[in-house]
Amino acid sequence: MSGHGAPVRRDRHRIRQEGRQRRRRTLWIAGAIAAVALLALGGAVTAALLGSDAPQAAPGTQEPEPIVFPEDEPAATPGAEPCTTVRVLSSFENAGMVERLAEAYAAEPRDVDGACVEVVTAKDKSGVAAEDAAVGFTEVDEDERPTLWIPDASSWLGVAREAGGSANVPESGTSIGSSEIVLAMPESLAAAIGWDEDPPTWAEVFETSEDEAVWEDLGHPEWGEFKLGKTSPLVASSGEAAMLASYGAAAGSVADLSAADIADDEITDEVRAHELATSHYMATPEHFLWHARQSEDSGGEAADFLSAVIVDEKSVWDYNRGISSRDGVTRTEGDPPAEQLVPIYPSDGYYVSDNPAVVLTGGWVSDAEDAAAQDFVRFAGTAQGQAVVRETGYRDLNGELDPDVAEVGGLAESADGGLPFPAPQVVVAMHDAFADVRKRAQVLFLIDVSGSMGDPIESGDTKLAAAKHAITLALDHFAAGDDVGLAAFSAADDGKITPGEVAPVADIVDTRDDFEQALGALKPIEWTPLYAAVDRYATEQGERFDPDRITALVLLSDGRNETAAPGVTEQQMLGTLEELHHSTPVLVFTLAYGADADVDTLRAISSATGAHYYDATDPTEVDEVLGDLVTSF
């Protein structure tokens, strides 16, 4: 962001710097102790990632001997049918590795207790899977519930157990591979700031992200402000790592972060200041990297969208070889980007995604399924399984990378600053605190109420009724201090946008009843003045722009621009969004609702503002899709 509000931001930055200088006078000793502790922690971290059976070094001794991975021992012939089904639930981030492991396991005959084995994979966001695990996957039929859960980090096991899932989720799992969670930067930016040669501490990362003049001072005003990308800590492991690192930096030690640190008012104030530098949150690392690639493909550069993003090493490898994903589900393979990402390993340590495999202990898991799942986990630790782990972009249980992966990703051959995620109570305390410290939102929901919104959908509701229900659920995401409003658009023959704003943008805690009453009163009308509505309400949101808030428009439309008379053109609308993007930025998140939605235009609208497009062309999925969207705030 540049221009509007710069003097206010500079003053805010000066105040923060003065506060940090005062704090450093009392924290430098803790920082020195943490540095020494990191050296001592090396062996302990390795042991934590490899599991309790890994060889461990005694204090003051050399690193443990590398594991010699056993050879796989498939059966001579498959067991009898029907096969025992092992349903494996992974995270979006590690799904490719888990799918390849399942393929490799199935390539050889398997016989577990006399039966053949079929491994079926599925994936979900880490936070969603943890919530489901905590309640025993009750929204899924018993014969469809997972047998084996492989989140990308052990932190989610603790989150699920702390939320009541101790009867379903074991306390710990068996790591099948790892990926460091690092700071990734376009290579020209990393070189300009010097972090490619001299990695910063996390405190330096967050301080830099709050300095709106950093690139200008380094001779690159064209890069704008320092744009730090973070995923939501309630959804993704990289988001957890980012928020925990923020608390650790404020507390003086990332390695020794405690629940007491998270409860500390002074530390909380500094973390809250860190969050003001966040443009917005996203659900997965792929969302950020997709936008960076889109910036380059549209004639710009990745720096137009981000300066740095906190992601896992595997995602850096994917990006550098031309793999991208708009939604974390579908993957697109293209040419490598013109400018590659450089992984930065902060000098005071970085968290590690350890990909723990846990056989769930809920009553739906039979003894036969348990045994078959254990055999699949055994295979993951064999020489053949670990080869798959390396080939899919992960470090094996010795911390080794495939040489080609390391070269393409620019990854450190050996990373010795890895930290296990903190104890479950620390992670849960951070989750609970996020609503308080996150950057507040200023959001206007803009809803299409054209005639087609009265059409019925498969659930039996009309499109509009289902949209109302989804928006009502989405309001639960917001908290005190979030300003949320509602506008709707259609037109009769006179072309005037109607009904317009029906609930003002105001603190949702105070106005929710009025918001829901206005939402409930909406009815389908006639025309679809899409371009005029976006042009008008994006401009109004721009007038409300506040650099300390995520200023956004959430557009839900089921059709194409159709009016009774000529009005605002697509080119005029996109011109308005482009102008706003460089003055008073408004993120326009678009949700294509129904099969007739103008997907191309909705994608163009979101891309022009650096926001994300969401697909609810199957209108029965609108609850889930809109719930995903609001994690950006």
For residue 259, what are the β-bridge partners? none
Closest C-alpha among 154, 347, 180, 349 to residue 255: 349
Residue type, 154: S
Q: Look at residue 38 in the predicted model and tell me its pLDDT.
A: 32
The CA distance from 615 to 626, in Å, is 9
The CA distance from 47 to 613, in Å, is 42
Which residue shows structure tokens 């163009």?
A: 604
* 613 and 622 Cβ atoms separated by less than 8 Å: no
* 585 and 550 Cβ atoms separated by less than 8 Å: no
In Å, what is the CA distance from 418 to each residue of 52, 113, 198, 579? Answer: 17, 39, 17, 43
Q: Which residues of 264-298 are buried (b: 16+ CB within 10 A; e: fewer)?
A: beebbebbbbbbbbbbbbbbbbbbbbbbbbbbbee
Determine the number of helices (DSSP H) and then strands (DSSP E) in the chain.
22, 20
Residue type, 205: V
In Å, how far from its chain's centre is CA 3?
29
Question: In this structure, which topology does domain 80-178+354-400 adopt according to CATH?
Answer: D-Maltodextrin-Binding Protein; domain 2 (3.40.190)
In Å, how far from its chain's centre is CA 84?
34
The CA distance from 48 to 52, in Å, is 7
The CA distance from 83 to 414, in Å, is 41
In Å, what is the CA distance from 334 to each residue of 59, 292, 322, 323, 405? Answer: 48, 14, 5, 6, 17
pLDDT, one tens digit per residue, over 206-256 is 999 999 899 999 999 999 889 898 889 999 999 999 999 999 999 999 999
For the chain, domain boundaries: 6-40+179-352, 80-178+354-400, 439-632
Q: Is 267 helix (H, G, I), strand (E, B) or coil?
A: helix
Q: Is 568 helix (H, G, I), strand (E, B) or coil?
A: coil
Q: Could you say which residues of the chain have pLDDT below 70?
A: 1-63, 327-328
Q: Look at residue 394 in the predicted model and tell me its pLDDT.
A: 98
* 371 and 170 Cβ atoms separated by less than 8 Å: no
Residue type, 502: V
Closest C-alpha among 91, 53, 120 to residue 372: 120
Q: What's the Rg (C-alpha) of the chain? A: 25
The dihedral region occupied by 153, where left means phi > 0, alpha psi between -120 and 50, and beta the remainder, is: beta
- The dihedral through the CA atoms of 176, 180, 185, 188 has a sign that is negative
Q: What is the DSSP string of 47-107?
A: HHHH-TTS--PPTTSPPPPPP-PPPP---SS--EEEEEEEEEEEETTTHHHHHHHHHHHHT
Q: Look at residue 62 in the predicted model and tell me its pLDDT.
A: 61
Instruction: Indicate the helix (H) or strand (E) that contains 542.
Output: helix 530-543
- Token pair, residue 59, equals 């204090």
* 546 and 553 Cβ atoms separated by less than 8 Å: no
* 497 and 535 Cβ atoms separated by less than 8 Å: no
CATH number assigned to the domain with residue range 439-632, chosen from the 4 options 3.40.50.410, 3.40.50.1860, 3.20.20.70, 3.30.230.10: 3.40.50.410
Closest C-alpha among 475, 479, 482 to residue 513: 475
Which residue shows structure tokens 């300095």?
A: 211
Closest C-alpha among 124, 114, 163 to residue 145: 124
DSSP symbol at 452: G
Closest C-alpha among 371, 355, 370, 360 to residue 167: 360
The CA distance from 244 to 236, in Å, is 12
The CA distance from 427 to 439, in Å, is 19
pLDDT, one tens digit per residue, over 27-42 is 333 333 333 333 333 3
* 380 and 357 Cβ atoms separated by less than 8 Å: yes
Q: Look at residue 9 in the predicted model and tell me its pLDDT.
A: 39
Instruction: Indicate the helix (H) or strand (E) that contains 118.
Output: strand 115-124
* 596 and 625 Cβ atoms separated by less than 8 Å: no
In Å, how far from its chain's centre is CA 530?
29
